[in-house]
Amino acid sequence: MIIQQAKQRFGIIGVSTSLDRAIETALRVSPTDLSVLITGESGTGKENMPQIIHHNSTRKHSGYIAVNCGAIPEGTIDSELFGHEKGSFTGAHDTRKGYFEVADGGTIFLDEVAELPVSTQVRLLRVLETGEFMKVGSSKTQKTDVRIVAATNVDIPEAIRKGKFREDLYYRLNTVPIHIPALRERREDIHLLFRKFASDFGEKYRMPGVRLTPDAVRMLEDYRWPGNIRQLKNITEQLSVIESEREINAEILVRYLPDYQASKVPAIYTSESSADMSEREILYKVLFDMKSEVDGLKNLVMQILKEGSESIDTSDLQKVYAAPATPVPVPAKYNAAPQEYHVHRAQSYHPDIIDEEPEEVEESLSIEEKEKELIKKALEKYKGRRKNAAAELGISERTLYRKIKEYELN
């Protein structure tokens, strides 16, 4: 009942259990003075939780200040939070109170707290531990009684590992953690939110609210919503203003959902080692694979000379000439022609071309002559167009160009 009242008071729409759990935690921690850290993706509505905490606490009759730490320039953030003395820096014409002095006895909401400079984090840690701070340009310590609620969409443990956030400050802020679920984790709330936004925009623009057909509802719930509630609200407003039809089906809706099809395709895992392969490593891989093929051919020829062709299993030769290409990771800038970075194996040849007497040493040259003849025929067939000839032969243009130069077919 209390959770429902909080939803109505602060305009929160949703029935998911994960959202109710977050609201319940906020309500339970409100009467205390514990610091709270709210986490969640951008656009999930994290700004509602500090208001719930403040208005249900003993500080509700004192000041509440919301500060977007990412929107304040690094050079002035200390002055904004802690104030400054007259003449402490260029442009400081008067003494100014900071947010911590103004909100004494109340609550400060530090949104995007992970954007704070490290030097400011040290000052904030002192406020949390002792309730003391100093204005910029002052040597006088001042006391403040402020409750801090912070929020971020950044993975703070990762920021700590990179040296961008103080670990001791993280543990002071994270006394009570509250996680706001992403919209895709609240599928049962997506259509409810859409209907609320559609009704609001219909009233705002003095027109009937848009509504969804069943197939459009399914599409709405299947979408991943990278921008969460903020993105859903924007798309609802676009549909309300742009579309003349008040009933929106899936065919119309898909035009407003960026990368809808891509969002339904499972992600392809690429290991970090293969994704970061340099061009030199790719070249080495190609050369090593080519060397193994040449060694295989040498062994087959020597075996034919020693034991005769009847002793050779033709499947061994097929493995060398017709084995599938081994894919090699390709740098992004070469994506236009990935086939040039794969090991080529001539799939056009057949072991039947080695039908002459095994005692003839010239047998190894017949492959080259046959290859040369096939290349000539392909070039004549397509009147010198190498792209078509390469496709006919089942090889890449680069390989064809090398063979033409090797056999002096120009």
- The answer to whether position 384 is within a domain reads yes
- The answer to whether position 364 is within a domain reads yes
| 70 and 32 within one domain | yes
Beta bridge partners of 212: 248
Residue for token digits 């496709």?
391
Q: How many whole angstroms separate alpha carbon 288 and alpha carbon 285? A: 5
Residue where a domain terminates, one of 181, 196, 226: 181
Beta-strand relationship, 36-39 and 176-179: parallel
| 211 and 132 within one domain | no
3-class SS string, 194-237: HHHHHHHHHHHCCCCCCEECHHHHHHHHHCCCCCHHHHHHHHHH
| 173 and 153 within one domain | yes
Residue where a domain terminates, one of 165, 181, 197: 181
| 198 and 158 within one domain | no
- The answer to whether position 14 is within a domain reads yes
- Residue 133: phi and psi, rounded to 5, are -155, 165
Q: Could you list the pLDDT tens digit for every one of the 410 residues in the chain?
A: 689 999 999 999 999 999 999 999 999 999 999 999 999 999 999 999 999 999 999 999 999 999 999 999 988 999 999 999 988 888 888 889 999 999 999 999 999 999 999 999 999 999 999 999 999 988 899 999 999 999 999 999 999 999 999 999 999 999 999 999 999 999 999 999 999 999 999 999 999 999 999 999 999 999 999 999 999 999 999 999 999 989 999 999 999 998 776 555 444 444 443 344 455 566 666 776 777 777 777 777 777 776 665 555 555 555 544 544 445 454 554 444 444 444 444 444 444 444 444 444 444 446 777 778 888 888 888 888 888 888 887 788 778 778 887 877 76
| 16 and 125 within one domain | yes
| 364 and 248 within one domain | no
Q: How many whole angstroms separate alpha carbon 88 and alpha carbon 103? A: 22
- The answer to whether position 270 is within a domain reads no
- The answer to whether position 154 is within a domain reads yes
- The answer to whether position 271 is within a domain reads no
Domain housing 165? 2-181
45: left (phi over 0), alpha (psi -120 to 50) or beta: left
Confidence (pLDDT) at 266 = 46
Confidence (pLDDT) at 281 = 61
| 190 and 177 within one domain | no
Confidence (pLDDT) at 223 = 94
Q: pTM here?
A: 0.62
85 touches 140 (CB < 8 A): no
| 241 and 149 within one domain | no
| 308 and 176 within one domain | no
Count how many domains the chain has.
3
151 touches 38 (CB < 8 A): yes
- The answer to whether position 89 is within a domain reads yes
Angle of helix 48-55 relative to helix 2-10, nearest 10 degrees? 120
Question: Which distant-in-sequence residues (6+ apart) come within 8 Å of 72 by Cβ?
Answer: 80
| 164 and 250 within one domain | no
Confidence (pLDDT) at 289 = 72
Q: How many whole angstroms separate alpha carbon 311 and alpha carbon 279? A: 42
Confidence (pLDDT) at 234 = 96
Confidence (pLDDT) at 403 = 80
| 98 and 218 within one domain | no
Q: How many whole angstroms separate alpha carbon 363 and alpha carbon 127? A: 87
**Alpha carbon separation from 149 to 106, 133, 152, 251 (Å, rounded):** 11, 18, 11, 43
**Which structure tokens are listed for 150?**
């912070």
Run of H or E including 214 = helix 214-222
Greatest Cα pair distance, the chain, in angstroms, is 104
Q: How many CA atoms lie within 13 A of 52 on its CB side?
A: 28
Q: How many whole angstroms separate alpha carbon 179 and alpha carbon 16? A: 13
Q: How many whole angstroms separate alpha carbon 206 and alpha carbon 296? A: 78
- The answer to whether position 165 is within a domain reads yes
CATH number, position 116: 3.40.50.300
The 10 Å Cβ neighbour count of residue 91 is 9
CATH number, position 248: 1.10.8.60
| 240 and 335 within one domain | no
236 touches 201 (CB < 8 A): yes
Residue where a domain terminates, one of 150, 181, 212: 181
For 149, the 3-state DSSP assignment is: strand
* DSSP label at residue 144: -
- Residue 136: phi and psi, rounded to 5, are -65, 130
The residue among 324, 336, 329 whose CA lies nearest residue 394 is 324
CA dihedral 273, 279, 285, 289 (to 10 degrees): 140
